[in-house]
Amino acid sequence: MAKKSIAEIKTLLHQYMTEEQLDQCEYANDGRKGVQNAIASRKKQLQKERTLVAQYETMSRFENEILATQPHALICGIDEVGRGPLAGPVVTCAVILNKEHNFIGLNDSKKLSASKRNEMEHKLKAEVQDYAFGIASVEEIDQFNIYQATKLAMSRAVANLTQTPTHLLVDAMELDIDIPQQSLIKGDARSVSIAAASVLAKEYRDDYMRQLGSVYPGYAFDKNVGYGTKDHLDGIERYGITNEHRKTFEPIKSIVNNS
């Protein structure tokens, strides 16, 4: 009987779910280098999957602590995107996960690749119990300051939910909302609910800024999403300030004051 090809074996190795099974499988003693490399690759994949599962369990700790005493709690994670850019709104998202959530690989949106964020965005939108966005405009950022505008946007996100949460997990802020809440520093890397909000907020805002790039093509908004990159600063120097620029942020503030 002819030996299976290395490509066929690579596919078959996915049925083995532990390193022990791989060590005992019928291909373990196959002398071909390609087979042994495939086995080693499958082992690394399993190790990575275990690490991601452990990370997810750690990031579920705050949610699990609440559910341990209040099993019917509706826990809402809240995060923002866009506090630092020179242009565009600040976008927030509020997310209520299903009780049996399983988004292995979910993390702070800044730690995920663009393709992984996009994949996770679609999965979250299809499977979470509820989510909503809240936005504070450039005008509101300039009027209230970025911190207060972010709080305003977060409160709007909660108000836009179709369900009323019983608990809030908020990334590094305390909101003026009469709901029990916990502020978590770097919460997008510590809580699955906040991480989910960070992914949805970033994908929403990035898409908004890409669309804005077609309205103002000289500022490379599709690439820098409003941050003060060289292309963006060159665009400001060449074409001036737009309505989408934050007039209280430097160097725009100085440009406006000196004009």
Tens digit of pLDDT per residue, the chain (259 long)? 568 899 998 999 999 888 899 999 999 999 899 999 999 998 898 999 999 999 999 999 999 999 999 999 999 999 999 999 999 999 999 999 999 999 999 999 999 999 999 999 999 999 999 999 999 999 999 999 999 999 999 999 999 999 999 999 999 999 999 999 999 999 999 999 999 999 999 999 999 999 999 999 999 999 999 999 999 999 999 999 999 999 999 999 999 998 7
DSSP label of 106: -
Q: Where do the H-state alpha helices sit in the chain?
A: 6-12, 19-24, 33-59, 61-69, 114-127, 138-144, 146-159, 192-215, 221-224, 230-239, 252-258
Torsion sign, CA atoms 186, 187, 190, 194: negative
**Positions of CATH 3.30.420.10 in the chain:** 61-199
Secondary structure of residue 136 in the 3-state scheme: strand
Tell me the CA distances in angstroms from 200 to 1, 79, 196, one per residue in order: 52, 9, 6
Secondary structure of residue 184 in the 3-state scheme: strand
Quote the CA–CA distance of 27 and 66 in Å, as a whole number: 47
Query: What pLDDT is attached to residue 1?
Result: 56
**Cβ atoms of residues 194 and 184 within 8 Å:** yes
Task: Considering only CA atoms, give the Rg of the chain.
Answer: 23
Q: Kindly report the CA angle at 183 between 76 and 200, in degrees rounded to 5?
A: 45
205 class by beta-carbon count within 10 Å (0-12 exposed, 13-18 middle, 19+ buried): buried
157 class by beta-carbon count within 10 Å (0-12 exposed, 13-18 middle, 19+ buried): buried
pTM above 0.75, yes or no: yes
- Angle at which helices 33-59 and 61-69 pack, to 10 degrees? 50
Looking at domain 61-199, its CATH superfamily turns out to be Ribonuclease H-like superfamily/Ribonuclease H (3.30.420.10)
48 class by beta-carbon count within 10 Å (0-12 exposed, 13-18 middle, 19+ buried): exposed
Secondary structure of residue 26 in the 3-state scheme: coil
Secondary structure of residue 240 in the 3-state scheme: coil
